[in-house]
Amino acid sequence: MSTERATASPPRESVEPLDQGRGARIGLAVLRIGIGLLWIQNSGWKTPPNFGQDSGTGLFRFTTYAVDYPVFPPFSWLIEHVVLPNFTVFGYLTLLVEVSLGAFLVVGLATRFWALVGIAQSSAIALSVLNAPNEFPWTYYLMIVAHIVILTSALGRTVGLDGLLRPRWRQSPSRVARLMLRAS
């Protein structure tokens, strides 16, 4: 019996390594660049200076969904009492975050940091619109999962600037270089 159990659960060292081949690296780069392009497209309909506040459209409409179709009541309270009264500031902040997510993920710079930001932003969007009519919840779950893969696999090191710059940062004694090593 004990022999059978030993055979059924192999020792930790024998775990098969992930595929490191060219195809796998290209596929992972496609994932990172594809997600970056989605953020780039998503920043296209956030239009300053009022972000749809005047006409009840655009970012303003989607933000009010958090109050009209609540997913998580504390988040709805935050939107109603903090975000909506300061909507222009929130609009610019959202635009800058999504522009940066697109720009940095596409070129693969500080990728782990931006993957974390992507998880936070995708979660915030999910908490706003999951219960709204005509929304497809899988979209947001898939975005969160994709960012988790980018974060845990450090995908900027594959066909990205992180892979190019990390050897230089490693040689540099500066605090910025150490920070970038952690962020990549």
- Judged by CB under 8 A, the stretch of 72-80, 82-90, 127-135, 163-171 that binds another protein is 163-171
- Judged by CB under 8 A, the stretch of 20-28, 61-69, 140-148, 168-176 that binds another protein is 168-176
d(CA 105, CA 161): 10
- Site for another protein contains 174 (CB under 8 A): no
Q: Is the peptide bond before 167 cis (omega within 30 degrees of 0)?
A: no
113 to 152: interface string for another protein, x by CB under 8 A: ----------------------------------------
d(CA 38, CA 43): 9
d(CA 91, CA 1): 63
77 to 116: interface string for another protein, x by CB under 8 A: ------------------x--xxx-xxx-xx-x-------
d(CA 122, CA 119): 5
Residue 99 or 148: which CB sits closer to another protein? 99
Site for another protein in 43-72 (CB under 8 A): 43-49
Size of the site for another protein (CB under 8 A): 30
| Minimum separation from the CB atom of position 136 to another protein (A) | 14
Binding stretches for another protein (CB under 8 A) = 36-41, 43-49, 95, 98-100, 102-104, 106-107, 109, 161, 164-165, 167-168, 171-172
